[in-house]
Amino acid sequence: MRLTDFKVLTFDCYGTLIDWETGIIHALRPLLRNSSVERSREDVLASFARRETAQEAEAPDMVYPELLARVHRRLAEEWGIAASEADHRAFGASVGDWPALADSSAALAYLKQFHRLVILSNVDRNSFAESSKRLGVPFDAVYTAEDIGS
């Protein structure tokens, strides 16, 4: 089997094309700065993943920025850090600021010459639209959790 055997390539976006871990860490910096406890990157990401998974199970149809805001609120509570509704909403809106992985744009531009490119993602359309700007390649189709309701 060769790559040239395919006409369409599908991608998960976050963690594959967008560096969601770095994006989450950067977006959580304001909260973490207010903590008296030092947390490692691994511990922060593990706490985030646990809260995100629980929230997705609790409300699978929740739009991603709202889900992220709820996760932020729960992390603040878990860590005993004061945070405002504006802080929660800012974290929820952070997806578009998450950086692309260093090789994503060039690799997608190359692949676009030969294939149709499709995104499958657990975010919402608006968040992906912001991330798409960082990737620099038009996708032939985009399917988000918002589109499918889960």
CA dist., res. 137 & res. 147, Å (int): 21
Smallest Cα–Cα separation from 25: which of 49, 53, 55? 49
Instruction: Identify the helix (H) or strand (E) that includes residue 106.
Output: helix 104-112
CA dist., res. 24 & res. 127, Å (int): 14
Q: Where in 25-144 does DSSP place strands (E)?
A: 116-121, 141-144
Annotated catalytic residues are: 12
CA dist., res. 2 & res. 60, Å (int): 36
CA dist., res. 145 & res. 139, Å (int): 17
CA angle, corner 42, sides to 12 and 54, nearest 5?
60
